[in-house]
Amino acid sequence: MTQKELHNDRLAEEAKRSALGYYTRRHFLRESAMGLGALALGSLIGSCGSNSSSANQVFDAANPLAPKLPPFPGKARAVIYLHMAGAPSQLELFDYKPELMKLDGLDCPQSLLEGKRFAFIRGVPKMLGPQAVFRRRGQSGAWVSDHLPHFATIADEVSFLKAVTTDQFNHAPAQLLMHTGSPRLGRPSIGSWITYGLGSENQNLPGFVVLTSGGKNPDAGKSVWGSGFLPSVYQGVQCRSEGDPVLFIFDPEGMSRDLRKASIDAINEVNRLQYAEYGDPEILSRIAQYEMAYRMQISVPEVMNINDEPDYIHAMYGTKSGKACFANNVLLARKLVEKGVRFVQLFDWGWDSHGTDPNLAIDYGFINKCRQVDKAMTALILDLKQRGLLEETLVVWGGEFGRTPMMENREGKQNPFKGRDHHVEAFTMWMAGGGIRKGASYGETDEIGYSAISGKVSAWDIQATILNQLGFDHEQFTYQFQGRPFRLTDVAGRPITEIQS
């Protein structure tokens, strides 16, 4: 074969590959925007509030975190949600049951077992009395155990929800239900809903920041702060209290600030052209995220630095310099809402208390976890109050479910240490600030803390209350997806008016 023939064959092969490129999946999906894909895109664009792709609207839409007014005046402007991942025992903290102590060590009655589902209990377990000393606290007379001596001093500042229930007895689905309104993956987290509805008061910081402690992420993973079907710009941004606050926050060697800005400008110009052609709202999220990342390089290291706080604040929170810990994260949460961040989510891992080893024992590892959080969560309430921020900041504390009044006995054998199994029928949460009544308690469990007998509330009621305090009717706050309006609270929930001021 001559050189000319070889050359012609190569040209023909390249032309063939080029033609095949028009039939790739990516090309098909892009071009199908003119057909059936246009219907889907039209639905997505419509859900973002506009079906037009004019230049002005593109630039308006490219700032999705711009501050917005809620439908009606809310009592709160920001939320700090303290989630104790693993589910702390209400029976050792807030739900005092002296009658349970009388049953300690006795076989569990069959009436508490028949027709019930547990994560690990099998056969007939022994009853387990409260492993803590309780006292009435403050003018409200709220029962708080000696495991939380600092928190006991501010019992009059909070509202207790004593009869919270769920229908999920495994950690991951229960965490998803509490934070997304569904036990299944794919729904937006509450922080994403709130930043979608209200934006952020500080355009140099994310509207939704996540901080984790305890050495691990929650069992449900990062889905509990994901944006689900909302544009990804509304997902939580995970920051760290040790090392760089955000990975890759600083420019690499040889990259100047001006060069980084020029790079982002060039990338986003291409993104704007793509949006003008295809109208995909996720492109707007990409533009906003690039620009936010650039602004964060200056603002995040400053606000995430707790070393500039005075010594008395560090003593108040019990911080640990240079370490990743709950106390450092709580102080950061106060700094973030002070700077205009809308929703700060703290996850503290390690609250499972099965009794399978000392760290999971209700009379050892659980007590250590209480010591780790007691001072800091108390300091948060006092610090917000002294800065005039508590009335406009809603603080929420709780786990994903409760713990049983009986001992856990895996495979029908008593565990080597004292522990309690997962329990769905009753647990305690509390709220403070943001228009919540002080020194209140709503809901009641039976004499051994097994079931809610009055004031029963669900995860959806908690979510509806949070939205209400921010100025949203949870039934009207929706997002169009897959042909129907979705909401955080699914088809249930009501604001808990009994604890609203």
Classify residue 392 by its DSSP letter. Answer: G
Tell me the pTM: 0.82
State the Cα–Cα distance between residues 110 and 326, nearest whole angstrom. 40
243 contact partners, CB below 8 Å, separation of at least 6: none
State the Cα–Cα distance between residues 463 and 440, nearest whole angstrom. 19
State the Cα–Cα distance between residues 46 and 494, nearest whole angstrom. 28
Strand-pair partners of 208: 343
pLDDT of the chain along its 501 residues, tens only?
Answer: 555 555 555 555 554 454 444 445 544 445 444 444 433 333 333 334 333 333 332 334 558 889 999 999 999 999 999 999 999 999 999 999 999 999 999 999 999 999 999 999 999 999 999 999 999 999 999 999 999 999 999 999 999 999 999 999 999 999 999 999 999 999 999 999 999 999 999 888 889 999 999 999 999 999 999 999 998 889 999 986 565 556 555 566 666 667 666 777 787 778 778 878 777 767 776 776 666 665 656 556 677 788 889 999 999 999 998 788 999 999 999 999 999 999 999 999 999 999 999 999 999 999 999 999 999 999 999 999 999 999 999 999 999 999 999 999 998 898 999 999 999 999 999 999 999 999 999 999 999 999 999 999 999 999 999 999 999 999 999 999 999 999 999 999 999 999 999
The answer to whether 442 and 154 have CB atoms below 8 angstroms apart is: no
Mapping DSSP onto H, E and C, the string for 418-451 reads: CCEEEECCCEEEEEECCCECCCEEECEECCCCCC
Give how far Cα 60 sits from Cα of 48, 54, 67, 286, 480, Å. 12, 10, 12, 14, 20
> Which long-range contacts does 111-114 make (Cβ < 8 Å, 24+ apart)?
112/405, 112/406, 112/450
State the Cα–Cα distance between residues 406 and 120, nearest whole angstrom. 12
437 contact partners, CB below 8 Å, separation of at least 6: 159, 499, 500, 501
